[in-house]
Structure 1
Amino acid sequence: MFVEETLSQDAFLGGQVTLLQPKNGYRAGVDPVLLAAAVPAKPGDSVLELGCGAGQALLCLGHRVTGLSLTGVELQPPYVDLARRNGDLNEQTLDIVQADLADLPLDLRQRRFDHVIANPPYYRNGAHSPAQDDGRRTALGEETPLAHWIDTASRRLAPKGYLHLIQRADRLADVLVACTNRLGSLEVLPIAPRVGRAAELILVRARKAGRADLRLHAPLILHEHSTHPGDRPDYRAEVEAILRSGAALEWPK
């Protein structure tokens, strides 16, 4: 487990969510916040996060939509402990299960969820220099193939349930192939840092037994200016509302 002096206590959603996380190693950023904002959950829904880390996405989603049943699966025991502590710190009930995606416990394999969310490792195994910190190496470097994440998600979804995941834009082909014959009604929302810049991330929505055609939306632009304006934030108003106020991310119609 993490030693207390190695942890920081960080504010998200303008201080509405507080997260204990290691000062060094893997630290959550805006990606899980955007992921949580993209989920159209309603009170009473069940949500499963694969690879929940310290619980940021679950906590942000649970803050925006009350009355959810929130379950997280995490491989690394220190982060399992942090996620449970963060649930208590934010007065949210989280069911955090320590398990490998390839070997989920029987009781979890017997459950179905209205929503599955995931922020899988961004880099293929061997595609980047591995981090020295174990937590960061596991979070960023793919040990379990992306296709297995999506297969596990599809098996855990209830009929007509939704998968939402965030991933690097250059992994789009991998995501589409993995969803074939598993999930349908795919929507892809590219995320670009600024106008005129290529998308670096994608949000993907897919539905169990969905039959609608693939939709590739216009990109979500994060920042207002075409270049960095200096030492101050310049998020667009709709992005600022997501990151600071916990607003929902509105998918294009």
Structure 2
Amino acid sequence: MNEPLALTEDSLLDGRVRLRQPAGGYRAAIDPVLLAAAVPALPGETVADLGCGVASAGLCLLRRLPKVRVVGLEVQPRLVTLARQNGELNDVGPDLAAHQGDVRDPPACFGSGRFDHVMMNPPYLDPAAARVSHDKARRIATVEGAASLDDWMRCGMLLLRPKGSLTLIHRAERLEEILTLCAAGCGSLTVLPLWPHRGEPAKRVIVQARKGTAAPLRLLPGLVLHRDDGSYSKAAEAVLRAAKPLTLQV
């Protein structure tokens, strides 16, 4: 029988989002906020959130765009329960759904071509090279398991309507692989590097593509996250605190 899960209640977007999440293991930080800020959804559209966890990205998206609908897919049942509870906690329950399932075989409600947009923050560590956490929940969230990056991308492409957008945040070292996987069915590829500090190499990137379109690859100037003193840059604060969007497509 599962032991009771120790929880904390935290906040994102300068208190605009309340978030109940496990006290240990993987905990939402800035990645889901940045991911949600980059999704180019419009009122009335539907967004699939693959690997939704406790719905941190979905809740941030709904705070910025309250007239969209977010449907999350998460492999860990306990996190699905928390995602649903977080929807109620933030008074967006009707606009946020969470389902338990695997990107390799999603539930029937994740049908082909049903979504205007897909966002994802897949596990990013190579199990052959990573120091694997002893915490199971953290390991599932951060280390690639049976579902490969290829599986995540295939699922995302399948769910999208024609000209729908796929947005993901990932490690910069996986960019070549991501672009190769996108190239088969997408165009209008745009890459936004995330610089930890000015002058440092990017550790993460946000990549966006449109299904079934054709346009040259665009490499954007990027977002510097921190000042020299470690505080967030003005541009980062606009996204992380004021819920401003990150515009990747023209």
Q: Where on the TM-score scale, by shorter chain, does this alignment land: which range?
A: over 0.9
1:99-118 correspondence runs (5 A): 99-110=101-112, 112-118=114-120
Which residue number corresponds to residue 27 of structure 1? 27
TM-aligned CA deviation for residue 187 of structure 1: 0.4
- The amino acid across from 2:197 in the alignment is R
- The amino acid across from 2:208 in the alignment is R
Q: In structure 2, the residue corresponding to 1:150 is in which secondary structure? A: helix
Q: Distance in 1 between matches of 2:126 and 2:182?
A: 17
1:89-168 correspondence runs (5 A): 89-93=89-93, 94-110=96-112, 112-143=114-145, 144-168=147-171
Deviations 1:60-111 (A, max 9, x none): 0011001111100000001011101100100113111100111112232255
The answer to whether the Cα contact below 8 Å between 2:112 and 2:158 also exists between their aligned partners in 1 is no
Equivalent in 183, 186, 190 of residue 187 of structure 1: 190
The answer to whether the Cα contact below 8 Å between 2:190 and 2:249 also exists between their aligned partners in 1 is no
Residue 238 of structure 1 pairs with residue 238 of structure 2: no
TM-aligned CA deviation for residue 252 of structure 1: 7.4
TM-aligned CA deviation for residue 3 of structure 1: 2.7
Deviations 1:29-48 (A, max 9, x none): 10000000011211101000
Q: Distance in 2 between matches of 1:252 and 1:53?
A: 26
The answer to whether the Cα contact below 8 Å between 1:2 and 1:78 also exists between their aligned partners in 2 is no
1:32-111 correspondence runs (5 A): 32-93=32-93, 94-110=96-112
The answer to whether the Cα contact below 8 Å between 2:118 and 2:166 also exists between their aligned partners in 1 is yes
Q: Distance in 2 between matches of 1:177 and 1:122?
A: 16
Which residue number corresponds to residue 217 of structure 2? 214
The answer to whether the Cα contact below 8 Å between 1:2 and 1:22 also exists between their aligned partners in 2 is no
Unaligned 5+ residue runs, structure 1? none
Equivalent in 175, 178, 181 of residue 175 of structure 1: 178
Q: Distance in 2 between matches of 1:68 and 1:86?
A: 17
TM-aligned CA deviation for residue 49 of structure 1: 0.5
Q: TM-score, normalised by structure 2?
A: 0.94
Q: TM-score, normalised by structure 1?
A: 0.93
TM-aligned CA deviation for residue 125 of structure 1: 2.4
- The amino acid across from 2:156 in the alignment is A
The answer to whether the Cα contact below 8 Å between 1:151 and 1:182 also exists between their aligned partners in 2 is no
The answer to whether the Cα contact below 8 Å between 2:165 and 2:210 also exists between their aligned partners in 1 is yes
Q: Distance in 2 between matches of 1:40 and 1:108?
A: 20
TM-aligned CA deviation for residue 235 of structure 1: 1.2
- The amino acid across from 2:225 in the alignment is L
Which residue number corresponds to residue 3 of structure 1? 4
Structure 1 stretches of at least 4 aligned residues deviating more than 6 Å after TM superposition: none
Deviations 1:109-165 (A, max 9, x none): 255111100000111222201111111000000011101111110010011100000
Q: 1:16 to 1:42 in 2, by over 3 A?
A: same
% identity of equivalent residues: 44
